[in-house]
Chains A and B, each alone.
Chain A
């Protein structure tokens, strides 16, 4: 185990506390850079989605994880980014311009959503953001001159510096990766400066934040704007990756998926956004696999246990019918969220930290290390 002796204020500020971090993140970056030349096109496509989801995850972490303002409206921000890109593309606006425009526009709308949200707390804020998402969804379906309604919009392949970048090319993947890395670095910078600390202060005690001179309203709006802007950038990439967008892609389900990203990844660190994104992107093919193969496997087991062919066939068709039930995916997501909240509130990243500590301290690891002590009940009077 390594002990860090701080001898300089720089030790608290720098992004990589010691050389071990540089090595491991350098290695990770190297793997990510050679990935497109090694992985299959299907996995590459999934990796692009991981980048996009992780970017949204980081955005949501800024708002929900660090500022403590829950949002179930991030699908709407993603949609605004995506539609801005698709609309401006029709008028031959170059990519860098509409990429920035989408971010700025979404950021402004995020700030507008932030204002009414100032007076809301907890569950009421969630309801407000859901209604915002529904309003946006409805506008997308009705404002046909711009959004082409439920028919959806086709998004051409993006062209960067005169070169057409196909959505399956390594270049597009590198673009998504660059956006993700820049987002993470920017967010880390924010978190180690006064604004980030003000966000955390608002999350933990608005009263104390206010009495320390933090303009709570201003910082909440800032948090909404930053989070929305990043989601808007991700929306542009999302539109290009799908090459076709329509209102039913940006439903409540997508917002819930983003919440799952940070809940399952872990809400206290940016690592959580990436781990959660990997989880949510990879669980879909896994569920499809289960749906296709599970009935056969169960029937096989039943047959091996001595059930007759007819019974096994009967079981197979029943399991298949169950697996193709409507809304099963939503139910599975719900169960996953519940299990994580109950048994692993720190998420996948928390689990990773525990495993790491287990090996660092072996054989002295104590489970109580990660147990939060409740010494007294916090007063809610002055919220």
Chain B
């Protein structure tokens, strides 16, 4: 059985088929990229997985468990974290507290314990901070720890989003265009981090990306979409040479 599987996943907005009977599987520990022209349905697939949209039909399975009907907040609890194409950070909070929200799925303390800040809460808080600190070190975010998000440049925010997702210690991470808006150097850093995430942290990565050089460098397999349908699936070079993919990008 596959680690993560989408079966005949469809999302229709009226007559528009944003995602049309898409099936794919992600193996444990691999980096799978989804590519495709604008409007191909890449981000819609992510929004289906994280339950922002409800699929019109189809099933999503993670670790052999059907998660199609799980409420959105339970998706994170199962170990699926995500980043957003247009950055959804908590603007008026510090980097540290943004990252600590990433720890939310590991928070077990009760409200009354927190009101009194009992020793158990304090111990938990320290544990969360230790974990967050590891991620900060992993992604070189030390200079920004106590800064407010609203004052940080775009490139740094992008990394913080990745950090927040990593703080939840996910099994599967969904990266929605991790390199969009980044310059060449930052994209390079990103590609190293994505590979390190796989090799050092053992995270499985599902990624939507436009930058083909990044896709080529990091992905084990690539899926090409167009008009909500799968055009091709396979290794990066196979997919890029597939005639349907070339037709979709360049026009027939």
Contacts and interface: CB of A to CB of B under 8 A. Distances in A.
Q: Do A and B come from one complex?
A: yes
Interface of A: 9-10, 12-13, 186, 189-190, 192-198, 200-201, 203-205, 207-216, 222, 226, 268, 372-373, 375-376, 378-379, 382
B88 A205 contact: yes
Contacts of B100: 194, 197
Interface string B44-73: 000100101000000000000000000111
B224 interface: no
A9 B104 contact: no
Interface of B: 47, 50, 52, 71-77, 81-82, 84, 86-93, 96-97, 100-105, 107, 109, 111, 114-117, 121-122, 125-126, 129-130, 133, 150-151, 153-154, 164, 168
A186 B96 CA distance: 21
30 contacts: A9-B126, A9-B130, A9-B133, A12-B129, A189-B116, A189-B121, A194-B100, A197-B93, A200-B90, A200-B93, A200-B97, A201-B90, A203-B90, A203-B92, A205-B89, A211-B72, A211-B84, A211-B88, A212-B76, A213-B168, A214-B73, A215-B71, A222-B111, A226-B111, A268-B92, A373-B150, A375-B154, A376-B87, A376-B154, A379-B88
A205 B90 contact: yes
B104 A193 contact: no
B104 A212 contact: yes
A132 B187 CA distance: 52
A373 B153 CA distance: 10
A207 to B, nearest CB: 5
Contact of A198 (B71, B96, B101): B101
A211 B50 contact: yes
Contacts of A226: 111
B101 A212 contact: yes
A199 to B, nearest CB: 10
Given A13-B125, A204-B90, A207-B88, A212 B105 contact: yes
Given A194-B109, A214-B104, A208 B88 contact: yes
B151 A186 contact: no
Nearest to B128: A194
A205 B125 CA distance: 23
B221 to A, nearest CB: 24
Nearest to B108: A194
Given A200-B93, A213-B168, 12 more contacts: A193-B121, A194-B100, A194-B104, A204-B90, A205-B88, A208-B90, A209-B90, A210-B52, A210-B76, A212-B164, A213-B104, A376-B154
Given A212-B105, A375-B153, A204 B91 contact: yes
Nearest to B151: A373
Nearest to A193: B114
B122 to A, nearest CB: 7
Nearest to B88: A208
A190 B109 CA distance: 11
A104 to B, nearest CB: 13
Nearest to A189: B117
